[in-house]
């Protein structure tokens, strides 16, 4: 197990390195000058020759490998960045300085992690709370009217684009029906603003994520349960006279959860990387909302930092999923 984890961590570091190199090269050889957003903010008229000056201060007149080496070095020991002739101290791990706010990207990233983490935890909890039990119930009643009704209704919901589903959820529950619990959405600190403000501000986002996300978990769980309940060891358990509940939940569900865990690990990593539509629609200033602002404002250090953060989160999620495999299914061995 230990050797496997070390091997996966090494491969994860290589993946993050390749991702950072790819993003760095995209910015370096992009169709527009990376200094253009800075020039647009610093000057009210046409930039003229100032773009060349800003490119020089950013190091774009140096070889690409030299600047990438400085970037990697800054991640470990920090560095001093020059933007529009102004020097900014960036402590390790240095992910750059925002062109828009002139603040270290690392500090802004840390501030937004609690909001995104809160959204991810609530949404993922509702995924499993509704999706897995409904999928098990549908599998036990395979071919019945209940099974067909559940599958059809969830297929209909999942066919709607998520951004439209979330937007309609917000419009109807906050404006049309004016439900007090959904009157004010957003992220509120549970320490400064209180647990109730935190819960009520995120509840509608959780509902939208939970209802939409549980549809695929219902389908995955149902399919995996139908396959598991047709295995020979299930028939053997039935012939021994074991209770139906024990057969379904102890033997069948444990095996059926392996593919569900795979999807859940990827989805949870994606949620932690930033739910752009959810945070934008419900005014939650997390990593997804921040990255969308950075793309719109061409804030390249922020875009680069959020992409790297997403890569790290997804790698860790996949590693945890592989480890959980061996716990859920003894037939799976890590080597």
Domain residue ranges of the chain, discontinuous segments joined by +: 2-100, 106-328
- Mean pLDDT across 155-165: 87
Per-residue pLDDT of 182-197, as tens digits, reads 778 889 989 888 998 8
pLDDT at 78: 87
* Top mean-pLDDT range of 49-58, 242-251, 287-296: 287-296
Provide the pLDDT for residue 266.
Answer: 82
Burial of residue 225, with CB atoms counted within 10 A of its CB: 0-12 exposed, 13-18 middle, 19 or more buried: buried
Q: Is the pLDDT of residue 143 over 60?
A: yes
Q: Over 60: is that where the pLDDT of 334 sits? A: no
Residue 70 and residue 62 in contact, taking contact as beta carbons nearer than 8 Å: no
Q: Which CATH superfamily is domain 106-328 in?
A: MetI-like (1.10.3720.10)
Residue 26's pLDDT is what?
Answer: 82
pLDDT for 75-127, tens place per residue? 888 888 877 777 888 888 888 888 888 888 999 999 999 999 999 999 999 98
Q: Can you tell me the distance from the alpha carbon of 49 to that of 47, in angstroms, rounded to the nearest whole number?
A: 6
Q: Are 177 and 87 in contact (CB under 8 A)?
A: no
Helix (H) or strand (E) holding 56: helix 50-58
Cα gap 233→256, rounded to integer Å: 13
Tokens, residue 221: 């769980």
Q: Report the mean per-residue pLDDT for the chain.
A: 83
Give the span between the Cα atoms of 292 and 285, in whole angstroms: 10
Q: In this structure, are residues 302 and 105 in contact, taking their beta carbons and an 8 Å threshold?
A: yes
- Whole-number pLDDT of residue 335: 54
Q: Please, which residues have CB within 8 angstroms of residue 72's CB and are 6 or more apart in sequence?
A: 20
Residues 6+ apart with CB under 8 A from 24: 64, 67, 68, 71, 304
Q: Where are the alpha helices (DSSP H) in 104-193?
A: 105-140, 145-158, 162-170
């Amino acid at each position: 197990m230990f050797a496997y984890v070390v091997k996966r961590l090494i491969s994860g570091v290589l993946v993050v390195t390749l991702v950072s190199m790819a993003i760095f090269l995209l910015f370096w050889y992009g169709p527009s000058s990376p200094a253009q957003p800075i020039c647009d903010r610093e000057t009210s008229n046409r930039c003229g020759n100032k773009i060349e000056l800003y490119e020089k201060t950013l190091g774009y007149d140096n070889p690409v490998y030299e600047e990438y080496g400085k970037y990697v070095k800054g991640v470990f020991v920090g560095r001093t960045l020059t933007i529009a002739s102004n020097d900014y101290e960036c402590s390790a791990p240095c992910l750059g300085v925002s062109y828009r706010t002139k603040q270290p990207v690392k500090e802004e990233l840390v501030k937004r992690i609690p909001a995104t983490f809160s959204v991810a935890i609530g949404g993922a909890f509702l995924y499993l709370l509704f999706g897995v039990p409904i999928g098990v119930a549908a599998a036990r009643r395979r071919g019945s009217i209940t099974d067909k009704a559940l599958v059809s209704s969830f297929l209909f919901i999942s066919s709607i684009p998520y951004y439209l589903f979330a937007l309609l959820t917000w419009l109807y529950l906050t404006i049309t029906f004016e439900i007090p619990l959904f009157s004010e959405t957003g992220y509120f600190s549970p320490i400064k603003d209180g647990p109730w403000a935190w819960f009520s501000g995120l509840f509608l986002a959780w509902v939208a994520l939970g209802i939409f996300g549980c549809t695929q978990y219902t389908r995955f769980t149902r399919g995996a349960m139908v396959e598991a309940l047709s295995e020979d060891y299930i028939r053997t358990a039935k012939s021994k006279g074991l209770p139906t509940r024990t057969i379904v939940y102890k033997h069948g569900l444990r095996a059926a959860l392996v593919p569900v865990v795979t999807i859940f690990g990827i989805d949870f990593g994606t949620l932690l990387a930033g739910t752009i539509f959810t945070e934008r629609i419900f005014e939650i200033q997390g990593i997804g909302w921040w990255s969308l602002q950075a793309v719109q404002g061409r804030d390249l250090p922020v875009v680069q930092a959020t992409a790297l953060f997403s890569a790290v989160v997804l790698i860790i999620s996949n590693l945890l999923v592989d480890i959980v495999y061996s716990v859920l299914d003894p037939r799976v061995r890590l080597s």
